Structures are given as structure tokens and as C-alpha cells.
Amino acid sequence: MKHVARQVIFYAALIGIWALLAKLKIWPPYIFPTPWGVVDALLAGFKDHSFWIAIGVSMKRMMLGYGISVALGMVLGLGVGSNKFLEETVGGLLVSLQSLPSICWLPLAVLWFGLTEKAILFVVVMGSLLSVTIAMEDGRKHMPKIYGMAGRNLGARGFALFWHVLLPASLPYIISGLKQGWAFAWRSLISGEMIFVSLGLGQLLMMGRDLNDMSQVIAVMILIIAIGYIVDGLVFKSVERRLRNKWGLAPAT
């Protein structure tokens, strides 16, 4: 209850300061809207179904692009973590590319695929692929070798060894990479949707900018933050909690 009370007090104070600054009209209303103006924009967006459509389109793209990056990243990371040659060559390249902001892939995507859905999906995949790959590689390398030896002694070979021994032992590292990959993919998706009319949340941001409707811009930003928070809390945090308990990594109570 204390944790909830602190959060309520903090956000109430934050909204109060926001409302006070808006009332003082230090900036014009079209630049710094009131909290109730943003609430009206949220209600209007859901009432005319524009927000529902944008959320559906964005989440569809997110699921497809993120799914591709997870599948490719797990295969690539396992290969790099298991092969010395790939580790010394591809591994170094992956670390270098990881420092490249995902928005840098936008010009390349437009030149290769044009203003199409493929360009957006490419940006999403590249935004999360490297995080998933590096996490899979780290999980494979940091896993105690005795797990693999024990699996082989019990008769596990090939895919069975990977699926029943190597993958479960690497899960704590992999989940961290998947969580980070999701965050990068989500940011990349919004950036990609802002490059042309695409019916997603990013396009609604640009529409608000073009109409000088800062209330809509902030309303869409709140939606983007809320979706990211919900996915992180409902999916990744719950999975991480179960893994910590299963592997004995939870703090003692």
C-alpha cells in the first residue's frame, strides 16, 4: 500500500504542476496543452476508433517484426556462442552494430524497400535482432559446461540437447535480451511509422504535429508509453519472476 500511495502522490503532484504551468500560459496552448485537453483528445481518439485502429495496426506489425527477430536472433546467437570462428568474426560485428541507433536503419530501409510495409518491418527487425542475438550468445557462453556434459551422458544429442538442456539453462540471459529487444523494436516501430502514412501510432503522432494539435501528440505519446509498460509488466516481469524462483535467484524473504 505504501508503494501505491507513493506512486499516486507522485503522479498527482506531477499532473498538478502540469496544470499550474498550463494555467499560467507561459507557453501558448497549442504548444503546452492542459491535462484536461489531453484527456479530451484521448477520449475523442477512442470514440472515433482512430486510436483503436492505430493500436491494432501497430501491434500487428510489432508482433510480426519482433517474432522474426526473435527466431533469427536465437539461431544466430546460438551459432555465434557455439562456434569460435563465428564468435571472433560475426560476434565482433554484432557488438559494433549494437551501438548503432535503430533510427539509422530508416534511410537504408526506404532506399531498399521504398515507402512500404516491408520498410517498417525491416526497421523493427533490425532494432531488436541484435539484442536478442547477443543475449542468446551470452547465455550460451556463460552456461556451465557441466550442463551440456550431463545432457550428453543422459543420451541427449542434437536438437534434443539444445531444447531440453541448453535452452532452459540459458533462459535467464535470453529473457533479459528479449525484454531489451522488445523495447528497441517498439521504439523502432514508432520511428518507422512516422516516415509515411501507415495508419499506426507513429502516423498519428505526425498528424498531430501537422495539425499543430499538441493535445493529440501527447495523447498518442501516453498510449505508446502505456502499451510498453503493460507489455513489460504483464509479460516480461512475470516471466522473469517465475524464472528467478525456479532457478533460485529470487532474494530471500
Asked if 185 and 172 count as a contact pair (C-beta separation under 8 A), the reply is no
- Give the pLDDT score at 252: 47
What integer best gives the mean pLDDT of the chain? 80
Residues 29-87: pLDDT tens digits? 788 888 888 888 889 888 888 889 888 888 888 888 888 888 888 788 777 766 777 77
Confidence category of residue 194, pLDDT binned at 50, 70, 90: confident
Give the CATH number of domain 33-246.
Answer: 1.10.3720.10
Q: Residues near 31 by Cβ (< 8 Å), separated by ≥ 6?
A: 214
pTM for the model stands at 0.77
Confidence category of residue 249, pLDDT binned at 50, 70, 90: low
Helical segments of the chain, H only: 2-24, 35-47, 50-82, 84-98, 105-113, 117-142, 145-153, 158-161, 167-193, 201-210, 214-231, 237-246
- Give the pLDDT score at 253: 47
Asked if 214 and 222 count as a contact pair (C-beta separation under 8 A), the reply is no
Indicate the helix (H) or strand (E) that contains 101. Answer: none
CA distance 212 to 206: 10
Residues 141-171: pLDDT tens digits? 666 667 666 777 677 676 677 666 777 777 7
CA distance 249 to 218: 39
- Give the pLDDT score at 144: 64
Residues 70-129: pLDDT tens digits? 888 878 877 776 677 777 677 777 777 777 777 788 888 888 888 788 888 888 888 888
